[in-house]
Structure 1
């Protein structure tokens, strides 16, 4: 188990699908600079962000 530096959740590095949610840069499209370069697990708290649930 490893703890994610973005969402602080624990995940199993052996589970590729789950690990990618915490390590791979998301390709979501929004106008929020807080989300740029972050993985899908990152939940932005900016009121100007239009990403849905961090995805």
Structure 2
């Protein structure tokens, strides 16, 4: 995972609406200037599809 907030930027993770996208979340990685650098959609429990 990206480093916590600081000189390098940071990241945030949010679960998606379980009624529409069950078991999924979105992760945002930010630069030090607070611009979104990376956007990832992933499973919350990677042991299941």
**TM-score, length basis structure 1:** 0.27
**TM-score, length basis structure 2:** 0.28
Query: Which of the pair has more CA radius of gyration?
Result: 2
The structure with more strand, counted as a fraction of residues:
2
